[in-house]
Amino acid sequence: MKIGLYYGSETGNSEMLCEDIEADLGEGFDCHISSLADVDPGALDKDTFYIFVTSTYGNGDLPSTALPFEEALTSTKPDLSGIRFAMFGLGDQVFAETFNHGSLKLSEMLIAHKAEMVGERGLHDASGFEMPEDIALPWVQGVMEQVQAAKAA
């Protein structure tokens, strides 16, 4: 199964988490990691399952590496029917009003263009004691179980 691991980041944490997810998924998956800065939303492939990992920047915005993707979604308005994805957000509860709004914003934009989100958004809180991978890896396993079950049905 093809998996696109796409990240939006200011500091590189989302990219590192994508690498951890790829390693945890193992060899049964054909994974590709890319910055959202390098992704054309109109080129998303229905035969690939996408896992987006993004932080939140500023006042609940997407990080700079995700802005080209956001701009392309807004300007080209692609029809993403048939595209399935999962969303994981990195945030900090210290900023309670905008906690994980980057991942919320991105998931809402994808859904507005008719993509289908699988599972709930995974959320990490940097002010907690757990490392991002401690939350993300079990979350990804749950999402992949849902994807595999849907494929078998």
Residue 138 phi, psi dihedral angles, 5° rounding:
-65, -35
Please check the confidence at residue 151 and state whether its pLDDT lies above 90.
Answer: no
Interatomic CA distance for residues 142 and 129, integer angstroms: 22
The confidence band for 153, taking pLDDT boundaries of 50, 70 and 90, is confident
What's the first-to-final CA gap in the chain, in angstroms? 16
Compute the mean pLDDT over every residue in the chain, rounded to the nearest whole number: 94
Q: What is the pLDDT of residues 5-29, one digit of tens each?
A: 999 999 999 999 999 999 999 888 9
> Cα 70–73–151 angle (5° rounding)?
105
pLDDT tens digit string along 85-99?
Answer: 999 999 988 888 888
The residue count of the chain comes to: 153
pTM above 0.85, yes or no: yes
- The pLDDT assigned to 96 comes to 82
According to the model, what pLDDT value does residue 48 have?
Answer: 97
Residue 48, token pair as written in the block: 């690939």
Chain-centroid distance of CA 45 in Å reads 15
